[in-house]
Amino acid sequence: MPKVLISGASIAGPALAYWLLEAGYEVTIVERAPEPRPGGQAIDIRGPALDVIAAMGLGERVPALRTRMKGMTVLDIAGNEIERTTERTATGGRFDSGDIEIFRDDLAALLREVCGSRPRYLYGDSLTALETRPDGVVASFSRHPTEVFDLVLGADGLHSKVRQLAFGDEEPFLRPLGVAFAIWASPNLLDLQDWQLSFRDETAGYAIYPTRDNRELRVNIGFALTLDEERGLDLAARKALIRERAAAIGGPVPRVLETLEATEDLYFGALAQVRMPSWCKGRIALVGDAGYCPSPFTGQGTSLALIGAFVLARELARGGADHETAFAQYETRMRPFVKANQDLLFRDRAAPDADDVFNEAKMGISLEDLLG
């Protein structure tokens, strides 16, 4: 039974684990956080990712947890309404489409649930070194003893440790966007009922929505920040920075900022795309944001992670012991789809053909096409 280590237990990691377990692999997942991480905004599942979810037996449970947003009000910096829509979502989908919008932590919990007790989890740990030998990869950890695996798969997000250990410094692979997101949960002190508020200008923006039957809000504030400025900030410094960068924004922001102090589960990070000439090296491969983060602005990170995990696991199952061919097929099949979705970021959303390009990139391929 091939023995696989997956780094990262958010979306790509458990999805990949599920498919590898189904194919008979022995799976260990190492996750830096001490326990499953809560938090995150609503994320979208679209196109072939909906088929992946259905194939996992989650075709009813995921839609049951979808957000029930009925529409969105777009405000100006002072909080005055400039648009009200029941059609277009902030990431370019439609409120009435077959897309599923679900909170990241709800989806992550379902993915862990379908894996059941089969994977071995190493929470609160991280890889420190990877040494590839002809017959396996020697993995060293901060806390767990060194162990040899047949394959190591990095599903550890934008600042992937596996990428750093196998491919070197992250800098050449990141295309920084100069913007950070700060996301946290608060009580629904705005009394929003299935309705989202959003604002965006050249330097800042926010999306605020209700969840948990309108009892809770998820607050997402975006502002200018470089990757260098982000490094080394502790929780208190992050909170101070958020307050400073959001100080000029009016409307609902001053009220929700009051809840920032008490929050422990702050998701905070400068955004970037990940563009790599190859996602695989020897016995090591990357999946999801670790290999090809498209950035939250495309709304496609979760779908790419789900689809990438499925395609990679299928190719490994097909290839048996021949991981080299499986990795090569994974790259060939995923690359055009990944590129089309990453390129969405640089599209002019006001262009006359923008909606067609957007939908073609997201939906214009089937799982059959991706599996060849």
**Contact set with ligand FAD (CB under 6 A):** 7-13, 30-33, 37, 39-41, 43, 104, 126, 155-157, 161, 183, 220, 267, 288-290, 296, 301-302, 305
Q: Least separation, in Å, of the C-beta of 288 and ligand FAD?
A: 2
Nearer to ligand FAD, 135 or 171 (CB): 171
Nearer to ligand FAD, 78 or 129 (CB): 129
Q: Least separation, in Å, of the C-beta of 76 and ligand FAD?
A: 23
Nearer to ligand FAD, 302 or 329 (CB): 302
3-state DSSP assignment of residue 270: strand
Longest dimension (CA), the chain: 63
Count of positions (residues) in the chain: 372
Nearer to ligand FAD, 196 or 302 (CB): 302
Nearer to ligand FAD, 75 or 107 (CB): 107
Q: Least separation, in Å, of the C-beta of 322 and ligand FAD?
A: 25
List helix spans (H) across the chain.
12-22, 48-55, 61-64, 104-115, 161-167, 227-230, 235-245, 253-257, 289-292, 301-319, 323-343, 354-363, 367-371
For residues 369 and 187, give the distance between their C-alpha atoms in angstroms, rounded to a whole number: 44
Q: Least separation, in Å, of the C-beta of 357 and ligand FAD?
A: 20
Q: Least separation, in Å, of the C-beta of 121 and ligand FAD?
A: 11
From first CA to last CA, the distance across the chain in angstroms is: 26
Tally the C-alpha atoms within 13 A of residue 157's C-alpha that lie toward its C-beta: 14
Nearer to ligand FAD, 8 or 251 (CB): 8
Nearer to ligand FAD, 76 or 138 (CB): 138
Nearer to ligand FAD, 84 or 143 (CB): 143
Q: Least separation, in Å, of the C-beta of 264 and ligand FAD?
A: 12
Nearer to ligand FAD, 161 or 283 (CB): 161
Q: Least separation, in Å, of the C-beta of 268 and ligand FAD?
A: 9
**Residue pair 344/281 in contact by the 8 Å Cβ criterion:** no
Signed CA dihedral, 11, 15, 20, 25: sign only: positive
Q: Least separation, in Å, of the C-beta of 337 and ligand FAD?
A: 15
Closest-approach residue to ligand FAD (CB)? 288
The residue among 211, 288, 297 whose CA lies nearest residue 49 is 288
**Residue pair 73/19 in contact by the 8 Å Cβ criterion:** no
For residues 280 and 311, give the distance between their C-alpha atoms in angstroms, rounded to a whole number: 14
The residue among 159, 126, 123, 160 whose CA lies nearest residue 142 is 126
Q: Least separation, in Å, of the C-beta of 38 and ligand FAD?
A: 7
List helix spans (H) across 137-282.
161-167, 227-230, 235-245, 253-257
For residues 95 and 346, give the distance between their C-alpha atoms in angstroms, rounded to a whole number: 23
